[in-house]
Chain A
Amino acid sequence: MELTLWTYEGPPHVGAIRVAASMRDVHLMLHSPQGDTYADLLFTMIERDGKRPPVTYTTFQARDLGSSTAEMVLHSLREAAERFKPQVLMVADSCTAELIQDQPGALALGANLPVPVISLEMAAYTRKENWGAAETFYQLVRGLLSRQAPPPGSERPSRAADVRPSVNLLGPTKLGFRCRDDVVEIERLLMSMGVDVNVVAPLGASPRDLQLIPKADANVNLCPEVSDLTCSWLARTFGMPTITTIPMGWGATRDFITEVASVLGLDIDVGAVGASRLPWYSRSIDSTYLTGKRVFVFADGSHAVAAARVARDEMGFEVVGLGTYSRERARDVRAAAKEYGLEALITDNYLEVEARVQELQPEMVLGTQMERHIAKRLGIPCAVISTPAHVQDYPARYSPQMGFEGANVLFDTWVHPLIMGLEEHLLHMFRDDFEFNDSVGPSHLGSEGEGARSTGQSAGGQPDGDKTLVWAFDAEKELKKIPFFVRGKARRNTERFAEEQGLSTIEVDTLYDAKAHFSN
């Protein structure tokens, strides 16, 4: 049993629903108890879809457990096939159905349904949402394409000279982070390189579209959490190369252009493809105060790695923590963290993330909806960069994260929660203003400010039994003169310094000694 306050991912069958709801002409029959239809709301409310997701639930109740729930499965399958007439019917268990073992996949295969059936094994007690989406997408693509596969070892024919190069964009789904606009942005970018987009999948694709995947020259692994498995199967089976750079941030977008050009054998001047305002905004003097702002990054694997690069190389922040809840991408994140001289935090335990943020006392958190809870508790500015997200991160306006426009969006989004430069200077100088002070948030956020700030708490949270470190009254008072957004770090550094020096009381001088000590 694992105590979970917040979960970063839903169960795997929600991943399966994401794939089904992203596509056209597929239907999912989910064997599940009454109540699991809450998942519909993710699509009708958070994604604001104007139709129900293509899912039929058996919705068994306690009284059904006595009789045959398998009968309900067969009934639901026939009804779904008849009513919705999908090109492909997918069948899966939710977590409770997994316990009663009706084997709905096997039942479906034996039921002589007038539609091809793909049976999914969801492993609800070991796997999670992104795995479920990846597995579902993979099973669909494999199920539809394996018969088209050329014999192993055969050479992939090269593109005819009069055919425009094309790629597939694989991985975007409903309930992904800004997938809707990322697809538009990347399609536009590829278009301006003279590259066609053959199939976008799962988002907007039908099973017939999936059958066209091998016609493209390469696959863009746009959301590896969902499409990694499929891309590597397509590479193995059809010899299709995979483009792996995630074009999030200015530099990564340029790298993406370079990789697309090299994989497709195109001669392209990167600088001529497009431009972002981020580089100039970030170089302009108004941004100087962003230098060295300490940020903590936690997200799904691909967004975490991409955000860390933007944070350090394009915004001039210092990345003080980097982590992910995607165990499947742990290796990438560890490698990236190493580059920043950090130990990656690989966990899906919200409390561990909270403890790390508290320990590091960053000036900003780039995270998920869950990190917003942590940031509120600790009084730290926060921006959302990845799922899990809530309805406010499925906006009406064009808001890609990828490509050149995506970089513009990132700049605005990340700077917004921070106190603006002039206000920051004045807070350093004058502490007791009746309007502008520690207990109110940044004035440009109006009442959005998070209220009381508690960053001044002891870094460890709870006082440790063995330690007898005491803050003298004057020193504590002096500490309060440091603005809240750096006070946590000052307290932590001072305490660390005092411990190293074997001091038991922190005086005003200790505070300044520590400041001098850590000033490099």
Chain B
Amino acid sequence: MSSVIASSVEEHHPGPQTQERGQRAVFCGLTSIIWLHRRIQDAFFLVVGSRTCAHLIQSAAGVMIFAEPRFATAILSERDLAGMADCHEELDRVVGELISRRGGINRLFLVGSCPSEVIKLDLETAAAKLQVKHENRVRISAFSGSGIETTFTQGEDQCLKSTVAELPSLASGEQNLIVLGTVSDIVEDQFRRLFDDLGIGNVSFYPGRKAGDLPAVGKGTRVIAAQPFVGETARALIDRGADLISAPFPLGAEGSKSWFEAVASVYDVPQERVQQILELPYQRAKRALAPHRAKLEGKRVHFLPDSQLEIPMARFLSEECGLEVSEIGTPFHDQLIMQGELARLAKDVSIVEGQDLDPALARVRESRPDLTVCGMGIANALESEGLRTKWSIELVFSPVQGFDQAGDLAALFAKPLVRQDILEVGSWS
């Protein structure tokens, strides 16, 4: 662990302080298809749900123009609900149609939704049956992206978890490292170079760029999370013999340094070598952060729940950019995966798990933070009330991990404040 933070047990954040229940303004897990379809280029996502599900995905992704869509919805009709049509036969037909239309897909995900779960349509069994039928052409599995079960990024967790059983077993005596959670291509490349320099070999990124990139897992496997929303997949990997490395997330100079140090220490890389290799990117990250820190220092930030990235982002902003955190809302607080973060969070920071939208907004209005990190259903409304916002989804859609993205990450938060200073049109207050 980094020596930057002096950590005694009492100073550790105790974990969630309050839980809130009520109206939740968050995405369902289906939304994770928006980035997963780009990360895993030869995969296709077939949602089994209603027109609402289809509408959700196209409202989010349909602004891009697709010559070849990589996701679709099998819309349940009245006949399916009334039991007049056998859902499994119907699914069989739809999947057949899809596979014949799209030759290039190697992996088909059947994605469960609220309607399919409420009527208890067993997609896992369906996937297993369809797998037998299409054995030579495409791998098929199922996961839930429903709103009743999953919030936003949890969809990725479910997606990854659905393929854990397929991972080959690691030969005994071998070692490997799995970096868990989608990172952008450039971040993957940077991380690989640093692992190489540290002499850490046999590293797999999960999910990989192709559906067939499945890492082996077993006794010698170490897992480190690159994203905070992969808790269930991490547990599934632990069940298959892997060890989870606890670390803060690789956000900012300090976060990235600690993350690599945590891996290096597990691999017994000599301290001096670690410091020598990380020094250059660490100093570069610090330099990149400095101008943004100047704009952000002393400002107050408030997080509304969205992606589970809130706690690490709040840590980054307070530790590395000098912001004061007025509240961290998170949709779900996974203590296992968040261990490394809590150790570095000021213990008096208020963490709220869950949401009751209107009272939560009342707290924002009451405290009038300099920056509110929130979803796009809320952002423009707060802007028109004179509050600056950073729409949170961008944090999932941008390369933000690692040393060389530290400056970009800070810039994402600084930009709304800079914009406020630049614009002469209208008034924000």
A contacts, CB < 8 Å to B: 1-7, 9-11, 13-14, 33-38, 40-42, 44-46, 48-52, 56-62, 64-65, 76, 79, 83, 94-96, 99-100, 124-126, 128-129, 351, 369-370, 372-373, 376-377, 388, 390-392
Query: Is B269 interfacial (CB-CB < 8 Å)?
Result: no
Inter-chain contact B28/A34, CB cutoff 8 Å? yes
With A1-B80, A33-B148 given, is the CB distance from A128 to B51 under 8 Å?
yes
Please judge, given known A-B contacts A99-B119, A124-B52, whether A6 and B62 are in contact too, CB under 8 Å: yes
Known: A95-B50, A95-B52. A3 touches B94 (CB 8 A): yes
Q: Contact: B81 with A3, CB < 8 Å?
A: no
- B52 contact set on A, CB distance < 8 A: 10-11, 13-14, 36, 94-96, 124
Which of A7, A76, A392: most chain B Cβ within 10 A? A7
Cβ-based interface call for B114 (8 A): yes
Q: Are A45 and B380 in contact (CB under 8 A)?
A: yes
For A10, the chain B residues whose CB sits under 8 A away are 51-52, 55, 59
Give CA–CA (A61, B331) in the complex, Å: 12
Restricting to B9-51, which residues have a CB under 8 Å from any CB of A?
23-31, 48, 50-51
Partner among A5, A42, A62, A377 whose Cβ is within 8 Å of the Cβ of B117:
A62
Cβ-defined contact, A65 with B148, below 8 A? yes
- Mask, B65-108, CB within 8 Å of A = 1, is 11111001111111011000101001101100110010000000
- CA of A370 to CA of B67, assembled, Å: 11
Residues B324-345 near A (CB distance < 8 A)? none
B26 touching A96 by the CB < 8 A rule?
no
22 contacts between A and B (CB under 8 A): A1-B76, A6-B54, A7-B54, A14-B52, A33-B114, A34-B26, A35-B26, A35-B28, A35-B30, A36-B147, A45-B380, A49-B381, A61-B149, A65-B118, A96-B50, A96-B115, A96-B148, A99-B118, A372-B65, A373-B67, A390-B62, A390-B63
- CB proximity of A177 to chain B, nearest CB, Å: 15
User: Contacts of A13 on B, CB cut-off 8 Å?
Assistant: 52
B58: CB under 8 A from chain A? yes
Closest to A125 in B: B78
Residues of B within 8 A of A377 (CB): 67-68
Least CB distance from A132 to B in Å reads 10
Q: Which residues of A contact B377 (CB under 8 A)?
A: 37-38, 40-41, 44, 52
Quick check: is B60 within 8 A (CB to CB) of the other chain?
A: yes
A5 with B72, Cβ < 8 A, contacts A11-B51, A42-B59, A96-B114 known: yes
Q: Which residues of A contact B376 (CB under 8 A)?
A: 41, 44-45
Q: How far is the CA of A116 from the CA of B120 in the complex (A)?
A: 37
Give the CA-CA distance A58 to B356 in the complex, in Å: 11
In the assembled complex, the CB of B286 is this many whole angstroms from the nearest CB of chain A, namely 35
Q: How far is the CA of A370 from the CA of B62 in the complex (A)?
A: 8
Query: Given A37-B26, A38-B59, A40-B25, list of 4 further CB < 8 A pairs?
Result: A9-B55, A35-B56, A95-B52, A373-B69
Contact between chains at A50 and B74 (CB < 8 Å)? no
CB contact between B23 and one of A1, A3, A45, A57 (< 8 Å): that residue: A57
User: With a CB–CB cut-off of 8 A, which chain A residues contact B63?
Assistant: 390-392
Counting CB contacts under 8 A, is B378 at the interface? yes
Residues 370-389 (chain B) with a chain A CB within 8 angstroms: 376-381, 383-384
A95-B50, A96-B115, A128-B51 known; A2+B77 contact, CB < 8 A: yes
Inter-chain contact B73/A4, CB cutoff 8 Å: yes
Q: Which residue of A lies closest to B92 (CB)?
A: A1
Quick check: is B151 within 8 A (CB to CB) of the other chain?
yes
Whether B279 sits at the interface, judged by CB under 8 Å, is no
Does B146 belong to the interface (CB within 8 Å)?
A: yes
Minimum C-beta distance from A117 to chain B (A): 19
User: Whose C-beta in chain A lies nearest to the C-beta of B81?
Assistant: A125
Looking across the interface, which residue of chain B has its beta carbon closest to that of A40? B377
Give, as a whole number of angstroms, the nearest-CB distance from A470 to chain B.
23
Chain A min CB distance to B375 (Å): 8
B348 at the interface (CB under 8 A from A): no
Chain B residues with CB below 8 A from A52, complex form: 377-378, 381
Of listed B62, B74, B85, residue having the most chain A CB within 10 A = B62
B358 in contact (CB, < 8 A) = yes
Task: Kindly provide the distance from the CB of B122 to the nearest chain A CB, expressed in whole angstroms.
Answer: 15
Once the chains are docked, how many angstroms separate the CA of A287 from the CA of B355? Answer: 59
Complex Cα distance, B29 from A61, in Å, reads 12
Taking a contact as CB atoms closer than 8 A, the residue among A1, A37, A46, A388 that contacts B24 in the complex is: A37
A44 contacts B72, C-beta separation under 8 Å: no
Q: Given that A7-B51, A52-B378 are known contacts, is A37 also in contact with B25, CB under 8 Å in the complex? A: yes
Instruction: Give Cα A1–Cα B26 distance, bound, in whole angstroms.
Output: 27
Distance A190 CA – B225 CA, assembled complex (angstroms): 64
Q: B104-137 interface mask toward A, CB cutoff 8 Å, 1 = contact, 0 = none?
A: 0000000000110111000000000000000000
User: How far is it, in angstroms, between the C-alpha of A95 and the C-alpha of B94 when the chains are bound?
Assistant: 21
Q: In the complex, which residue of chain A has the Cβ closest to the Cβ of B47? A: A4
Closest 6 CB pairs of A and B: A35-B147, A35-B28, A50-B384, A40-B377, A10-B55, A1-B90
Taking CB atoms, residues of chain B closer than 8 Å to A44 are 376-381
**Minimum CB–CB distance for B31 against chain A, Å:** 8
Q: Which residues of chain B have C-beta atoms less than 8 A from A50's C-beta?
A: 380-381, 383-384
In this complex, which of B25, B29, B68, B90 has the most chain A Cβ atoms within 10 angstroms of its Cβ? B25
For A34, A64, A76, A351, which residue has the most chain B Cβ atoms within 10 angstroms? Answer: A34
Are A1 and B87 within 8 A (Cβ)? yes
Q: Is the CB of B384 within 8 A of A3?
A: no
Chain B residue contacts of A58, Cβ below 8 A: 23
* Cα distance A99–B118 in the bound complex, in angstroms: 7
Residues of A within 8 A of B29 (CB): 35
In angstroms, Cα B101 to Cα A392, docked, is 30
Roughly how many angstroms separate A59 CA and B119 CA in the complex, as a whole number? 18
**Cβ of A126: which chain B residues have Cβ within 8 Å of it?**
77-78
The proximity string for B residues 152-168 relative to A, scoring 1 for CB distances below 8 Å and 0 otherwise, is: 00000000000000000
Q: Would you call B149 and A4 a contact (CB within 8 A)? A: no
Query: A44 CA to B378 CA in the complex, in Å?
Result: 8
Of A1, A45, A124, the contact of B51 (CB 8 Å cutoff): A124
A6–B70 CA distance with the chains assembled, in angstroms: 11
The CB with the most chain B CB atoms within 10 A, among A14, A44, A128, is that of: A44
Question: Which residues of B have CB within 8 Å of A49?
Answer: 380-381
CA distance A1 to B62 in the complex (A): 22
Q: Are B118 and A2 in contact (CB under 8 A)?
A: no
Shortest Cβ distance from A47 into B: residue: B380
Given A10-B51, A96-B115: A369 and B147 within 8 A (CB)? no
What residues on A are CB-neighbors of B75 within 8 Å? Answer: 1-2, 4, 7
The CA-CA distance from A1 to B87 in the complex, in Å, is 8
Is there contact, CB below 8 Å, between B25 and A376? no
Chain B residues near A95 (CB-CB < 8 A): 50-52, 114-115
Partner of B72, one of A4, A61, A373: A4
Bound: A426/B80 CA distance, A? 56
* Residue contact B51 to A6, C-beta cutoff 8 Å: no
Chain B residues with CB under 8 A of A64: 148
CB of B148 within 8 A of CB of A62, answer yes
Write the nearest CB–CB distance from B355 to chain A, whole angstroms: 9
B148 lies within 8 A of A34 (CB): yes
Q: Choose among A9, A33, A48 the residue with the greatest number of B CB atoms under 10 Å from its CB.
A: A33
Instruction: Output the least CB separation between A367 and chain B (Å).
Output: 12
**Nearest CB in chain B: distance from A45 CB, A:** 5
Name which residue of chain B comes closest to A126, CB basis: B78
Provide the bound-state CA to CA distance between A35 and B50, in Å: 13
State whether B56 touches A1 (Cβ < 8 A).
no
| Closest A residue, CB atoms, query B119 | A99
Q: CA–CA, A336 to B151, complex, Å?
A: 47
The answer, among B69, B78, B146, B151, for a CB contact under 8 Å with A5, is B69
